[in-house]
Amino acid sequence: MKYKHALPLFPAVLAVGMLRSQEPAQPVAVVQGPAVVAPQVVPGEYLVQHASGVSLTALRDAVYAKASADDVDRIVADLVQKVEQEREAFVRDVEALGGTVVQNYWIVEGSHVRLDASKVEGLRRIAGVVRVDPNWIHYPVLATSTNASNHNSDAANVTRGLTNNQLVVGTDLTVAILDTGLDAAMGSSGRPHRSFYKGGNPSNTTGAGISGSRMLGRFVAAGASGTGEDDNGHGSACASCSAGASWPGNDAGFAPDANIVGWKVSASSNGGASTSAIADGFQQTLANVTRYKIVAANNSYSGSPSMTEMAQQAADRCAYVGNVNVCVPAGNSSSNISATQAGYNALNAGSINKNSTTRSSFSGYGTQTTGKIIPDIAAIGASLNMTNKDSESTVLRASGTSFSSPSVAGAAVLVRHANPLVTALEAKALLLRNTRTGTMGSGLGSGVLQADLAVNAAIRGEFTSGKLSSTTPFADHSV
């Protein structure tokens, strides 16, 4: 099978959004910081793209056929073995230059290399190498959205879907959070934050995850640091937007009974994450799609508008091969979208203000050089109340498209829960088609997210899929 994908070339530029937290008795006030900074790289590290890679057709077929987790694990193990065999000569050539191959990816035709900068031209001349990029560093993009005045996921949550007549709350489905980690050890409690338990009640240990919670695991991507515990707060806040449960003093997220799994991609407490770590986070997400029943994944980071950048290709493959609704933010620099992720197969989310359909002043919008319009859809990202890591007596109040994106991811979980026949592509179409009337355009993409409309359309079966073919595709990539 061939995967058709446009392949323009553009440099990566970065944006920063920092959390500044306090511990007052009232909800924490966090100021969004949308400043654009000079591009930063991991010194002496490079991402190499090869002319060929391994086929992901068997993996995609297994995921869509709902094969067992063990069967998928065997396919992934085979992919790992095949890619290492295919890269044996490349590894020898890199070592001859005095370098080290940190990782050979199977999700994309790429490798992560450590090498002295003076030897990079030699790296470019290795047989089969088509592109060499620095290992750029990206940062989190930091701003009640569920009621009838806003996105109305509250109404969706009391609707009965086609999955065993269950209420549409995300039960047994999972959202993956690729971020700064998750609060799996809240304060000195030794357990996850209460927002990640069923009903927001840490005494209810009927969940399938850590200490009876809905947090199935928190892992570390290659190139990240720590244990997967959140050392910044951004990841836990994003997780609560997607799938946090209500508890005294805080509202529920969009899919309050969904499970959560986290991949920490950051290497420092300021949230900075390398391109290689984000790419590996998507690779690990794809490898575990079946085991954890992952239907949505969120990465609320700045990134490259180039569809050929390694992390963008990995996100694209995760969505296409894994049947996953990948969600990313539009950025916090208004019309400057040079650090906004391409999100080719993702849902790119912009921000509106609460109780309105007005674009937040910081929310990214415009047309990327590839012709893609930013954003795809809009959700509240201004002054949201969210889970505050290591505290259950306060909530985090923050602004940024970082929090619009996981809200859309949570809505995608609801659509997939409402009708289990809906694929990621169909869920994306349902969300984009069923936005609030009269809100399309004006920097809001297809319009303002309306979760209840998309859920009801899924239940009514208002979707279909087909295939288009072309004799002159932009480019062919084996999948």
pLDDT of residue 399: 87
Judgement on whether residues 221 and 307 belong to the same structural domain of the protein: yes
Question: DSSP for 221-248?
Answer: -TT--SSSB-SSSHHHHHHHHHHPPPBT
Judgement on whether residues 301 and 447 belong to the same structural domain of the protein: yes
Would you say 386 and 403 are in contact if contact means Cβ atoms under 8 Å apart? yes
206 occurs within a structural domain: yes
The total domain count for the chain is 2
pLDDT of residue 396: 85
5 occurs within a structural domain: no
Mean pLDDT along residues 166-191: 95
Range of the structural domain that residue 195 is part of: 153-459
Judgement on whether residues 227 and 261 belong to the same structural domain of the protein: yes
285 occurs within a structural domain: yes
Judgement on whether residues 229 and 372 belong to the same structural domain of the protein: yes
Instruction: Give per-residue pLDDT as tens, 15-35.
Output: 223 333 333 323 333 333 434
Give this prediction's pTM: 0.88
Phi-psi domain of 170 (left: phi exceeds 0; alpha: psi -120 through 50; beta: other): left
Full strand arrangement of the beta sheet holding 110-114: 100-104, 110-114, 41-50, 129-138, 273-274
Instruction: Give per-residue pLDDT as tens, 410-440.
Output: 999 999 999 999 999 999 999 999 999 999 9
Judgement on whether residues 184 and 214 belong to the same structural domain of the protein: yes
Residue predicted with more confidence, 166 or 302: 302
14 occurs within a structural domain: no
Judgement on whether residues 315 and 439 belong to the same structural domain of the protein: yes
- Is 90 exceeded by the pLDDT of residue 163? no
Q: The tokens of 397 are what?
A: 């109040």
pLDDT of residue 39: 66
Instruction: Give per-residue pLDDT as tens, 39-89.
Output: 689 999 999 999 999 999 999 999 999 999 999 999 999 999 999 999 999
Q: CA-CA distance, 318 to 479, in Å (whole number)?
A: 11
Judgement on whether residues 101 and 193 belong to the same structural domain of the protein: no
Residue predicted with more confidence, 332 or 249: 332
- Is 80 exceeded by the pLDDT of residue 8? no
Judgement on whether residues 119 and 208 belong to the same structural domain of the protein: no
pLDDT of residue 479: 40
Instruction: Give per-residue pLDDT as tens, 232-290.
Output: 999 999 999 999 998 776 677 899 999 999 999 999 999 999 999 999 999 999 999 99
397 occurs within a structural domain: yes
Residue predicted with more confidence, 16 or 222: 222
Residue 324: give its domain's CATH number: 3.40.50.200
78 occurs within a structural domain: yes
479 occurs within a structural domain: no
Give the burial string for 166-177 (b: 16+ CB within 10 Å, else e).
bbbbbbebbbbb
pLDDT of residue 6: 30
Mean pLDDT value across the chain: 87
Residue 109: give its domain's CATH number: 3.30.70.80
Judgement on whether residues 84 and 171 belong to the same structural domain of the protein: no
Judgement on whether residues 107 and 193 belong to the same structural domain of the protein: no
pLDDT of residue 334: 92
- Give the three-class secondary structure for 216: strand
Judgement on whether residues 330 and 300 belong to the same structural domain of the protein: yes
Judgement on whether residues 126 and 157 belong to the same structural domain of the protein: no
The last residue of a domain, from among 108, 137, 166? 137
476 occurs within a structural domain: no
The last residue of a domain, from among 109, 137, 165? 137
pLDDT of residue 22: 32
